Amino acid sequence: FDASPTCISYRVIDELGRCRERCTWPPNLLESAGTVVPLEPGKPIAVSALSTAAPGVPLQLSWSVRFARPSDSPQALIVGRSHEGATPTFLIDLRADHEPLAVHVTPHPDRSDHSWTAPHLPHRRSLVVEVAALSGAGPGGIMARLEGGDWTSMTSASACGIEGMTLPAHWEVPMLSNGMAPSSYSVEMSVHSLR
């Protein structure tokens, strides 16, 4: 455990001496990202910063979702997969108008999903929601903020975060169920190392 006038940090070491979890608070979520990826509806994109990342290197994934108007139906906003056509292992969705934004992660194929929910979204014509996932920060490393406000950990019953997970390298904004591109929001994704 370390503390300074501007932040605190900790590491959890397992019985073999390996760092299992680490966190610095507040995380520097405002520094410029190493890789910025605009996600276009229906066009999966491979994020090379994730496919080439060394195991155990703490990463920050963040998404900025800009809603032009309130969404009127539940929908998947962002999907992450190991490769095109694979079952999603990372999903950010909006259940319905006035319902919380949720993040669902399948850390390993033989384990069930872990879910986090953000605070309720205010009902207004336009809104910017940011979501960040910090590997190595435990379950509190899945965070959200509204309209550039303060970052807060999303609510979850999970005992772990995304540490140790092979992060998906393929990301997309799915098409709507009617085959149309979503017109109510746009998404930008960024990835950078926390070292």
Burial class (CB in 10 A: 0-12, 13-18, 19+), 45: middle
Tell me what pLDDT residue 30 has: 46
> How many Å apart are CA 93 and CA 91, to the nearest integer?
6
Q: What angle do CA 28, 17, 142 make, to 5 degrees?
A: 30
How high is the pLDDT of residue 54?
60
Rg (CA), the chain: 16
What pLDDT does 128 receive?
Answer: 83
What integer pLDDT is reported at residue 13 of this predicted model?
81
Q: How many of the other CB atoms lie within 10 Å of CB of 89? A: 21
Run means of pLDDT, 10 residues per run, the chain, 195 residues: 70 78 62 67 79 65 77 77 88 71 83 82 71 81 84 85 82 80 79 65
